[in-house]
Amino acid sequence: MKLLLISNSTNAGEAYLEYPKKYMKDFLGGKIKKVLFIPYAAVTFSFDEYLKKVQERFSEIGYEVESIHNYPFQDKKQAIKDAEAIVVGGGNTFQLLKLIQQQDLIETIRYEALKGKPYVGWSAGSNLACPTICTTNDMPIVEPDSFHAINLVRFQINPHYLDAHPDGHAGETREQRLEEFLVANPYVYVVGLREGTMLKIEDAVIKLIGPRKARVFKHGQEPRELGPEDDFDFLFE
């Protein structure tokens, strides 16, 4: 597989997709000319607006973008099969999964990615590559058929991972929320991806990219802080 799983689209003070665009260019390479975009996580703006926003940025690195929402229902699976690469944007993970389930696209995306078709996702798009979406930060504004996602990796991702516990906030921290997940799912690793970082999975090797370390959780173990120089291949276990 070739996966680029990005924590967030935008760093504070930067333009949309500014920081990951060079990594997406390196990942996709020069042979690919057009990517298929899945905009279904958009809620407060239209899929057409989302496509335009992504196309503007991808044009800067030399790729044309077409969106799956512009295909007739009966042609969407074929669009995935014909695509040179699949790109899944962020937004609300519950809506993203619900619409993909409704259109029966999970197995098609999974099959194509397992064959080696490049898959790029950020935020909700990264969650979608996991076994489930149970480690998303999003509000369940809609109800998918299940929480089962594409299952391209054996571990879970928590995008936008934060260490902070704001003053005056008496609720759970992000780490405490993930500990709840781990009690209920004790055999699963969770990778907390901090802002500005991503995981690249290629040739059966997992690499962290970015200026911050990832925080890796498993039930019964102390969380691990791992950087770009560290080995993440245990996540395949």
| The pLDDT value given to residue 164 | 74
Instruction: Reply yes or no on whether the pLDDT at 68 is more than 90.
Output: yes
Instruction: Reply yes or no on whether the pLDDT at 188 is more than 70.
Output: yes
User: Which H or E element spans position 209?
Assistant: strand 205-209
Please report, for the domain that includes residue 77, its CATH number: 3.40.50.880
Domain with 17, as residue range(s), is 2-236
d(CA 88, CA 52): 14
Q: What is the DSSP string of 40-97?
A: TT--SS-HHHHHHHHHHHHHHTT-EEEEGGGS-GGGHHHHHHH-S-EEE--S-HHHHH
| Number of domains forming the structure of the chain | 1
**Beta-bridge partner residues of 72:** none
**Beta-bridge partner residues of 46:** none
Residue-wise pLDDT tens digits, 12-49: 999 999 999 999 999 999 999 999 999 999 999 999 99
Q: Which of 7, 67, 123, 126 is catalytic?
A: 123
pTM passes above 0.85: yes
Residue-wise pLDDT tens digits, 89-136: 999 999 999 999 999 999 999 999 999 999 999 999 999 999 999 999
75 counts as catalytic = no
Mean pLDDT for 174-197 is 96
Residue-wise pLDDT tens digits, 209-227: 999 999 999 999 999 999 9
163 counts as catalytic = no
List the 214-217 sheet strands across, edge first: 156-161, 190-194, 214-217, 224-226
Q: Which of 160, 165, 219, 230 is catalytic?
A: 160
Q: Which of 7, 9, 126, 138 is catalytic?
A: 138
Structural tokens at position 199:
């995981």
145 counts as catalytic = no
